[in-house]
Amino acid sequence: MIVSRFAPSPTGRLHLGHAFSAIRAHDFARERGGRFLLRIEDIDGTRSRPEHVETILRDLEWLGLRWDDEVVFQSQRLSLYEAALERLKAAGLLYPCFCTRADIAASVSAPHPGSGGPEGPVYPGTCRTLDAPDLSRPHCWRLDMARALATVSAPLRFEDSGHGLVEADPVSHGDVVLARKDAPASYHLAVTIDDAAQGVTDIVRGEDLFAATHVHRLLQHLLGLPVPRYHHHPLLLGPDGQRLAKRHNASTLAALREAGEDGHALADALRKGELPIGFAAASA
């Protein structure tokens, strides 16, 4: 049975790009007689807002999308993430990091070729070898990428409908954060655990998350989780040619809904690739 999901973070209102992604994930499952799940990725307590959750549910219903099962909230699954972190710590693959953003920016202020990762500066490893870390100070937990890769004996691969069979190469991400100072798990950890726990077979999401999949594949290996198939789709671009962001307020689904637009008609237009005037789909 095919299982797909849409996994928005309730840190703002959904825009047309989210609608495009939700429709693709929904239709992927429905066209194959499968199940479509909705997961709210709300572990970021400082940026997630309950009122956005309400709006997201209404937006999806307005588009005509229906999900199976109860909505899953990451904020209610923290013990799962903690258990995984404990396992990785016990295996000696994590270390506490006390650096602030400013510390990291300063240490990579003279970037040299290759010092940037897919998600910004690569952590320079300042805290990797601390002798007696004082865990009463604010800290995050980072994956020791070199040690993690040392546990890999056969190539880590994943299937992507756009990219083919991909060999995961997470090294350029550096020592990624798995538990944040201000949140009990990072996106990488929570998304990997939840997709496995919910039995997601096919991950349909934007091309902007393709790079992160290399890290997710490594985490699947470290935690002994099944490897789903991936379908990274092109992003919808705004009238300025830039990817849509929450700051493009006019294109939020809530604004269109409140202006009396027909959500089902909008969803059908997006399905046919007929984008609202001024929008374009970026090629992958």
Give catalytic residues, as residue numbers.
Answer: 246
Amino acid at 107: S
- Residue ranges of alpha helices (H) inside 117-165 are 145-150
Minimum Å gap between C-beta 63 and ligand GLU is 16
Between CA 162 and CA 166 the distance in angstroms is 10
Residues that bind ligand GLU (CB under 6 A): 7-9, 41, 191, 205, 209
C-beta atoms surrounding 110 within 10 Å: 7
Taking the least distance from each CB to ligand GLU, the nearer of 41 and 160 is: 41
**Of the candidates 255, 199, 243, 238, the residue with the CA atom closest to the CA atom of residue 37:** 199
- Residue 202: CB minimum distance to ligand GLU, A: 12
Closer Cβ to ligand GLU, 209 or 254, answer by number = 209
Strand partners, 39: 72
Distance CA(6)–CA(279), nearest Å, equals 22
CA 201 to CA 51: how far, in whole Å? Answer: 30
- How far is the CA of 229 from the CAs of 73, 101, 119, 186, 279, in angstroms? 23, 34, 22, 22, 29
- Closest contact distance (angstroms) between CB of 203 and ligand GLU is 7
Report the relative pairing of strands 229-233 and 202-206 from DSSP bridges: parallel
**Tally of CB atoms within 10 A around 67:** 21
CB of 114 to ligand GLU, least distance (A): 27
Residue for token pair 């009990």: 184
Note the maximum CA span of the chain: 61
Kindly report the number of other CB atoms within 10 A of residue 274's CB atom: 11
Give the helix ranges, DSSP H, for 63-128: 78-90, 101-107
Q: What are 59's strand-pairing partners?
A: none
